[in-house]
Amino acid sequence: MKTLSLKLDDEIFEEAEEITGKLNLARNRYINEAVRIYNRVHKRRLLKEQLAKESALTGKDSMEVLREFERLLDEN
């Protein structure tokens, strides 16, 4: 496990303290879970962007292949 120094805005800290108190959860555990969730959100967003780019590239190639097939069919 890594040790980390963290500066939080007062409002965020106070809100986290209130929630961890109500959940009877250690602040460290709460922050670990929050970062884990935040990481998942951003991994999914990055994957979505990557898939959109690759889909656009594939779509372009697919249209070229389709036009070539149509040209070959028209020749027969």
What are the domain boundaries of the chain?
A: 10-75
* Global confidence as pTM: 0.69
User: What's the burial of 31, exposed, middle or buried (CB within 10 Å: 0-12/13-18/19+)?
Assistant: middle
pLDDT in tens, 4-56: 999 999 999 999 999 999 999 999 999 999 999 999 999 999 999 999 998 88
